Amino acid sequence: MTTTHQDPGGPAVRTDAARPDPAAEQFPAPPAPAPPAPVAAVLARMRVVEATLPPADGIAVFNRVYLSVTEEIARRLGTGGFQDPAAAGELDAVFARRYLAAVDAAGAGLTVPACWRPLFQLRRHPGVRPLQFALAGINAHIGHDLALAVVDTCHVLGCEPGELAADFDRVGDLLTGLEERIRESLMPGPDLLDVADPLTHLAGSWSLEMARDGAWAAARVLWSLRGMPETAEEFAGRLDSGVGLVGRCLLTPLG
């Protein structure tokens, strides 16, 4: 934009109010770093799920939440947000693949893990609200899948769970920070603290932070049992069933 002003006793002078910065043209901002290939692959799969499911489908509701979280993790992987980006990226991809495996199993008519079964069974129930779908998916993925993903990642990288602890906590802090936003965006009505709404009580009965702590404890137990495969399998099966029971409670129809 060009303006003209008159200096006292002098000719009119043209000035550019918004001149381009030559340095910015010569040194443009670098593009955002691409996420690691395994993370990019699971992001692509989640976007396919988003594009193929009706928005009100319970899996679609959870997928939108999970996609936004994974996109933020991918961004932080490229900006120094993790202590060991390679290990954190591997954990993120291994973790996401467990959810995507459940989606594939359901699509093929196969049995999904017990932790996911309530969400897949009730994904179209008209009496279940979007926040319930989101919390049930987070419950299944954090409560069961995350523990097994930590163990799987340790096997892949040849490390101990303790070596992943710092980045595990960073991912957990990100999830906890997003939890309130998720609740606010999916809670119906203008009054989010309506004590007369059963959804308020149901949503308040579950804590992501406690689920995350439980997942870390379960991962450590499973790692300690790696030399006893039968016992480890039994423990993982009971964890799967217990998380599924919580998910079924979270999906109690309210209307």
Amino acid found at 108: A
Q: Is the pLDDT of residue 136 over 60?
A: yes
Lowest mean pLDDT among 12-16, 81-85, 111-115, 237-241: 12-16
pLDDT digits (tens, 9 = 90+) for 150-205: 999 999 999 999 999 999 998 888 887 777 777 777 765 555 556 557 887 787 78
Report the pLDDT value the prediction gives residue 15, as an integer from 0 to 100.
44
d(C-alpha 88, C-alpha 100), whole Å: 18
Report the pLDDT value the prediction gives residue 174, as an integer from 0 to 100.
82
Q: Is the pLDDT of residue 117 over 80?
A: yes
Mean predicted lDDT score pLDDT of the chain: 86
Helices (H) and strands (E) in the chain, counts: 11, 2
Report the pLDDT value the prediction gives residue 187, as an integer from 0 to 100.
67
Who's near 248: CB < 8 A, 6+ residues apart? 118
Report the pLDDT value the prediction gives residue 161, as an integer from 0 to 100.
96
Q: Is the pLDDT of residue 28 over 80?
A: no
Q: Is the pLDDT of residue 21 over 70?
A: no
Q: Are 212 and 172 in contact (CB under 8 A)?
A: yes
pLDDT: which is higher, 68 or 34: 68
Q: Are 174 and 69 in contact (CB under 8 A)?
A: yes
d(C-alpha 126, C-alpha 128), whole Å: 6
Report the pLDDT value the prediction gives residue 7, as an integer from 0 to 100.
47
What pTM did the predictor assign?
0.83
Which of the 8 DSSP states describes residue 82? Answer: S
The SS3 call for residue 249 is helix
Report the pLDDT value the prediction gives residue 61, as an integer from 0 to 100.
95
The SS3 call for residue 14 is strand
Using 50, 70 and 90 to split pLDDT, how confident is the model at 135? very high
The 3 state secondary structure assigned to 27-73 is CCCCCCCCCCHHHHHHHHHHHHHHHHCCCCCHHHHHHHHHHHHHHHH
